Amino acid sequence: MVRILKSESSATPRIDAVSPGAALPGGDVEVRGFNLGAIATEQVDPKRPGGGEWRRPIAMLGELAAPVLLSRGARLVLRVPEEAESGRLRILQNGAQSNAVDVRVASLIATGVHAVANPVMDHFGAIYATFSGQRGQETPVSVFRIERDGEMRSFARGIVNATGLAVDYDDNLYVSSRHEGKVYRVAKNGASAVYTEGMGVATGLAFDADQNLYVGDRSGTIFKIAPDRQIFVFATLEPSVAAYHLAFGPDGTLYVTGPTTSSYDVVYAINRDGDIGVLHRGLGRPQGVAVDVAGNVYVAASLRGRRGVAMISPRGEASLAVSGTGIVGFSFVPGGGALLATNTSIYQVGLGVEGWRLF
């Protein structure tokens, strides 16, 4: 039998803030507030005399108990259960219950992919994700199409190491091949043809407002492909050890990420003239990137030791927007939601944030 010490028994937990407010299943969430620490107990079992014990509070996400990883008076860290759904978070301690706050949990929409960059959605709500494969591997399927009803179908074949994806105004899909240094254009029926080649280790793709296509060669070059397919060198950056990821903002700034040998990587901001600036420095392995209508930049990366999706304000201030391990891609979808890609799966989560889309 364990008895709670009276000096601690009247403490009611309170949640003031949850960071971040969204997570993948298995992601860690930090709670700030009051009376979140463990409560001292007195040992009264005569067969086990002496000593005391500490009992952590219980975190309930919806109807599921979430493992508590750390518990202090003003701070608690919990792990979102793998089977959790979006719901209200409450902290229970010795019969007392905190206020409830919303936590958004990403839901699985597809698995069996091999994504290495952002998934994309076309204007009809279909989602595209790659099956990239190992270096030089020609996989049976290069790109999957996930219909609005959740059915996943083979869409494109024969593109070795399909990497970056982009959709143009007419819903043609563009796919880079880092193995071949080519970019393919895939029509609505899945027929593919080479759009441009000689792109080095072609990775990230993005269109600007004038329908110029930008291609990131992870060796260090950002190419600009005009609608008539003339090729220009737009900017030159430090080589990446994995891939460049590209996204345009509302003001025409091109944001570029790409992990290097540094553990303190940057998000580049390149203006219309190709002048290179730094929006933020200090991310770990930055990958997929997207921008919202307010100009905030979202990057799949590690921020101060926490893995997930970092949000960087136009002033360069960073905070964690989504928690979760293994995220390589992030893209907005209409209605305030976002797609999250790990190497093997695609998730969707409602963030209440409108993303910036050119087309």
Residue type for 87, please? G
- In this predicted structure, which of 41-55, 134-148, 258-272 has the lowest mean pLDDT? 41-55
Instruction: For 269-302, write each residue's pLDDT tens digit.
Output: 999 999 999 999 999 999 999 999 999 999 999 9
Residue 50 lies in a domain: yes
What percent of the chain is predicted at pLDDT more than 90? 90
Residue 356 lies in a domain: no
Residue 358 lies in a domain: no
Residue 42 lies in a domain: yes
Q: What is the DSSP string of 178-206?
A: TTTTEEEEE-TTS-EEEEE---SSEEEEE
- Residue 357: its pLDDT value, please? 87
Q: Is the pLDDT of residue 304 over 60?
A: yes
pLDDT level of residue 358 (50, 70, 90 thresholds): confident
Q: Are 320 and 20 in contact (CB under 8 A)?
A: yes
User: Which of 44, 71, 105 is a domain's end point?
Assistant: 105
Question: How confident is the model over 74-98, as a mean pLDDT?
Answer: 97
Residue 39 lies in a domain: yes
- Residue 39: its pLDDT value, please? 87
Give 187's contacts (C-beta < 8 A, 6+ positions apart): 172
62 and 126 assigned to the same domain? no
Question: How confident is the model over 88-102, as a mean pLDDT?
Answer: 96
User: Which of 59, 79, 105 is a domain's end point?
Assistant: 105
Q: Which domain holds residue 139?
A: 108-350
53 and 177 assigned to the same domain? no
- Residue 41: its pLDDT value, please? 72
- CA nearest to 204, candidates 183, 185, 187: 183
239 and 125 assigned to the same domain? yes
- pTM to 2 decimal places: 0.93
Question: How confident is the model over 129-149, as a mean pLDDT?
Answer: 97
User: Which of 53, 82, 105 is a domain's end point?
Assistant: 105
